[in-house]
Amino acid sequence: MGEFILKRLFLSIFILFFVMFIVYALMYSLPTSYVESMARELATKPGSTKSAAEWLVELNAQYGFDRGIVGGYLQWIKTALAGDFGDSWNWSVPVVEEFNKTIWYSFILSFIAFILEMAIAIPAGIIAARKQYSLTDYTVTVFSLIGISLPTFFTATILKLIFSVKLGWFDIGGMQSRNYITLSNFGKFLDLASHYVLPALTLTLVSIGSLMRFTRTNMLEVLNSDYIRTARAKGLSESRVINHHAFRNTLIPLITILGGSLPGLFSGSLITETLFSFRGIGYASYYSMITGDIPFTMFYLMFVSILTLLGNLISDILYAVVDPRVRVH
């Protein structure tokens, strides 16, 4: 087991190296005029103490644009390994500072959506599988397919129309109401919480479908397996067959998948956060990307890649941990 994890870890580092190289090459290939305009823009920003030419030299040196792709990339790795990701161009603070500021908002948002998703999708999927071809099953199947088919932006716009514009229950975006400052501490908490509702709902709606389908398919597979037939044949009650024999086995792929998606909770949600002006990591990185903020973008892409690799690693390990048969083979 230890050897397996170690091997996978090395493989992940290898993959990360090349993924970041591709991302770096892409960033490098953006025409220099882009960096130049960036330098000009930075020089005119309030609080900037450097001229455009100085910025250009600094940017080129900082990102090794004067050393070619490979040399620049190796330099980026060197500074990144030392924990130095530079200053964000768009947010005018060190990259790590902006990251610390936003990451927890994103995590809480994703976590709420994750819990909601599990609480709704897993029971619905199991019920649908138990009553295959019933009305319930069709309803769940159709709903999950609709959920998969809903574009995030359309869902978000519809929710905004209903809950913000028509009903006026929540703000259309942002993190605070206008009267935030005047509120008591508890009021501030409630106000912040109310700004989580629509983004969390959007995230849940667009991701619930696939989990529902996944649960249903796996439960069906389990219900069709021989040991369930055996359990039924020996006269166990249906509830015991489902809850004891079938459900536990359905959990194997579920835990693998859900465990693998745990790191993803930190990666923020680009589209949803942007649409609701939710000041999480997704929002920050979206604006960094469209303004060509190379330091923050590089950092964010590295972060996301690490999370993806970590997710794969976790699901592989969990697969082995949860299902003893895998370990035997």
Partner 1 sequence: MNNKNLNEILKHREALEQKAKEEQNNSTNGPIALDDTQRVKVLSPGRLVAKRFFKNKLAIIGLAILVFMFLFSFIGPLFYPYSQTDIFYKYDYLTIDYASAAERTDAIAYALNSSADISSKIKNSLNSYINSMEKDGKAEVSLTDDDGSQYSIQKLGEKVYALFADQLTEVAKISPSVSIAKYNKFSKQFSWSSGTTVDEGLQKAIESAISSKASDFEYNGVSYLIKSESKNIYNIIRNTPEIEWSGENLGNEFISLAMKHQDETKFAFNGADYRVKVNGDSSISVSAIGGKTMVYVLSNLVFNIYDKAENISDDFKANALLAIYNSEKFSYNGKTYSVLKKGRKYEIYDESNTEIASLGNFVIKRYSGQDTLSFDFKEKAQQTIYEMLEKNQTSSKFLYSLPQMDLQGNYVLDKDGNTAYTDTEITVSKKNNQYVLTCEQVTYLIDIFGKPSSKHIFGTDGDGMDILARMMYGGRISLIVGFIVVFLEVIIGVILGGISGYFGGWADTLIMRIVDIFYCIPSLPILIIMGAFFDAIKMNPYERLAWLMVILGILGWAGVARLVRGQILSLREQEFMIAQEATGIKASRRIFRHLMPNIMPQLIVNATMGLGSVIILESTLSFLGLGVKHPLATWGTMINSVASSSENMIKYAYIWIPVGLLICLTVIAFNFVGDGLRDAFDPKMKQ
220 near partner 1, rule: CB under 8 A: yes
- Cα separation, 193 vs 180, in Å, equals 12
> Identity (one letter) of the amino acid at 89?
W
**Three-class DSSP category at 94:** strand
313 sits near partner 1 (criterion: CB under 8 A): no
CB of 285 to partner 1, least distance (A): 7
Closest distance to partner 1 from the beta carbon of 72 (Å): 17
Cβ within 8 Å of residue 102, ≥6 positions away: 268, 279, 280, 281, 283, 284
Q: How many CB atoms are closer than 10 A to CB 259? A: 18
- Per DSSP, the three-state class of 244 is helix
To which residue do tokens 């932006």 refer? 153
Shortest distance, position 154 Cβ to partner 1, whole Å: 4
CA atoms within 13 A on the CB side of 145: 5
Q: Is 214 in the site for partner 1 (CB under 8 A)?
A: no
DSSP state of 43: H
Tell whether residue 304 is a contact of partner 1 (CB under 8 A): yes
Given the complex with partner 1, which of 25 and 190 has the nearer CB atom?
A: 25
157 binds partner 1 (CB under 8 A): yes
Q: Does 159 bind partner 1 (CB under 8 A)?
A: no
Nearer to partner 1, 158 or 190 (CB): 158
State how far the alpha carbon of 242 is from the alpha carbons of 45, 82, 141, 253, in Å: 63, 53, 20, 16
Tell me the closest approach of the beta carbon of residue 251 to partner 1, in angstroms: 20
Tell whether residue 301 is a contact of partner 1 (CB under 8 A): yes
Task: Give yes or no for residue 197 binding partner 1 (CB under 8 A).
Answer: no
242 HSE (CA, 13 A, CB side): 12
- Which tokens hold the place of 131? 């009553």
From 217, 232, 277, 313, residue interacting with partner 1 (rule: CB under 8 A): 217
- Cα–Cα distances in angstroms (integers) from residue 246 to residues 65, 220, 224, 315, 320, in the given order: 58, 9, 10, 21, 19
Task: Tell whether residue 225 is a contact of partner 1 (CB under 8 A).
Answer: no
Site track 30-69 with partner 1 (rule: CB under 8 A), x = hit: xx--x--x--------------------------------
| Cα 233 from Cα 57, distance rounded (Å) | 78
Contacts of 103 (CB under 8 A, 6+ apart): 266, 268, 280, 281
Query: Measured from the CB of residue 5, what is the shortest distance to partner 1 in angstroms?
Result: 17
Residue 184 CB, shortest distance to partner 1, in Å, is 28
Q: Which residues bind partner 1 (CB under 8 A)?
A: 11, 14-16, 18-19, 22-23, 26-27, 30-31, 34, 37, 132, 138, 141-142, 145-146, 148-154, 157-158, 160-161, 164-166, 172, 217, 220-221, 224, 270-271, 274, 285-286, 289-292, 297, 300-301, 304-305, 308-309
